[in-house]
Amino acid sequence: MIIYPDFQVLCFAALSVFEVANKEAGSRLYDLEVLGKGGGSVRGSFGQAVSCAPLVDDGFDTLLIGVGMEVPPHEPAVSSFLVDTASRTRRVASICLGSFVLGDAGLLDGRKATTHWNFGDRLRQRYPRCDVDMNKIFVRSGRIWSSAGMSAGIDLALGLVEEDHGRELAAMIAKGMVLNHRRAGGQSQHSAMLELDARSDRIQAALAHARRNLRNPLSIDELAAVACVSPRQFSRAFRAETGRTPAQAVAQLRLEQARMLVEQGSIAFDVIARDTGFGDAERMRRAFVKATGLAPSDLRREARATPRTDLGH
């Protein structure tokens, strides 16, 4: 991993995936090394210093880029190193805003990539020859991989291990790291629960109930009873806090859960439709096409073309 000054310490969580891979496999599958421009000591965002090796090509199999929470400055020495070594390195990956480092080296030209959702437009403007995909938590484009955020770097690293040694080992690593969500590369960066972001405990409780009981009709009366207010008061408060009607919010939760199940498994579409409250596969298909422009079958096909990680069994 190449780190920049003020790197976010969570970048090292991606390295932990390879460390745990060695432990779970019972053999040394990966050797880990931290590099920095000029070598020596590099300070992280917490103020602690990390000892780094200099940028010397030692025949690396995989290079990862770890930076801080702001777009890193262009470092000609790092760009030159990446340009020189990329052709001899099996794959190069960025974590969060590390995608800008890849872009500065010209490695995103003609490639797909992602980055943190708040910097997507900036990535497009700065590297117009890159196909920026802000709908995925990590993207693989040939030898170039990129993750949307710091924690998504863990998902990306699991995808790398899965490519090398299969899904079973990736699942063992996830279990060993006590990761309790299964996140495919195609999963959206955005969470419906975070976007709705209700302030009061009552509305939060109603949303949590809805998410746990998507196969139910989830009427205003049912949600209002959970919130312990009248249906009229509930509707008014819900819209004031979330900017959506309860029906719109429930539809968003249904779609998010259904999309996750469609992309990440082989469950029949009619079963997913029933379990998420759409009722039947055709109604679910229409909802997907309206929201995403793609049918569930198209999304599943795309997801199968993207490395997956099974987090927790």
**Segment 14-67, tens digit of pLDDT:** 999 999 999 999 999 999 999 999 899 999 998 889 999 999 998 999 999 999
For residue 3, which of 75, 91, 90 has the smallest C-alpha distance?
Answer: 75
Going by the DSSP 8-state scheme, the letter that residue 28 receives in this structure is: -
pLDDT given at position 308 = 46
Whole-angstrom distance, CA of residue 20 vs CA of residue 157: 11
Decide if pLDDT at 191 tops 50: yes
CA–CA distance, 194 with 208 (Å, rounded to integer): 12
Amino acid at 43: R
SS3 269: helix
Residue 42: in which H helix or E strand, if any?
strand 40-43
What DSSP element (H or E) covers 145? strand 144-147
CB 68 within 8 A of CB 8: yes
Over residues 153-172, mean pLDDT? 91
pLDDT at 266: 77
Residues with catalytic roles: 96
pLDDT value of position 192: 62
Residue, of 298 and 99, whose pLDDT is higher: 99
Residue labelled with tokens 């004031």 = 240
> Which has more confidence, 197 or 107?
107
Name the residue among 8, 5, 308, 2 with its Cα closest to residue 158. 308
What is 44-94 written as a DSSP string? BTTS-EEEEB-S-----SEEEEE--SSPPPP-HHHHHHHHHHHTTSSEEEE
| pLDDT > 70? residue 189 | no
Residue 200: what pLDDT? 86
Range of weakest confidence among 43-52, 178-187, 214-223: 178-187
Confidence of residue 299 (pLDDT cuts 50, 70, 90): confident
Short-list 125, 129, 154, 149, CA closest to 141: 129
The pLDDT value given to residue 4: 96
**Residue 302 pLDDT level (bands cut at 50, 70, 90):** confident
Q: Cβ(130)–Cβ(176) under 8 Å?
A: no
State how far the Cα of 145 lies from the Cα of 269, in Å rounded to an integer: 30
- pLDDT-derived band at 126, boundaries 50, 70, 90: very high
Mean of pLDDT values over 125-146: 93
DSSP 8-state assignment for residue 199: -
CA dist list (Å): 213 to 37, 216, 217, 218, 222 = 52, 6, 9, 8, 11
Closest CA to 1 of 25, 17, 23, 20: 17
- Average pLDDT, rounded, for the chain: 89
State which of 64-78, 168-182, 238-252, 255-269 shows the largest mean pLDDT. Answer: 64-78
Q: How far apart are CA 95 and CA 100, in angstroms?
A: 10
Instruction: Tell me if 288 sits within 8 A of 269, measured CB to CB.
Output: no
Residue holding tokens 């998507």?
A: 214
Instruction: Please list the residues that pair with 132 across neighbouring strands.
Output: 113
**Residues contacting 48, CB < 8 A, separation 6+:** 9
The model's pTM: 0.67
Please compute the mean of the pLDDT values over residues 78-98 and round it to a whole number. Answer: 95
Instruction: Give 138's strand partners.
Output: 147
Strand partners, 52: 40
Q: pLDDT band at 136, cuts 50/70/90? A: confident
* d(C-alpha 177, C-alpha 174), whole Å: 5
Kindly give the interhelix angle for 231-242 and 220-227, rounded to the nearest 10 degrees: 80
Give the model's pLDDT for residue 195.
65
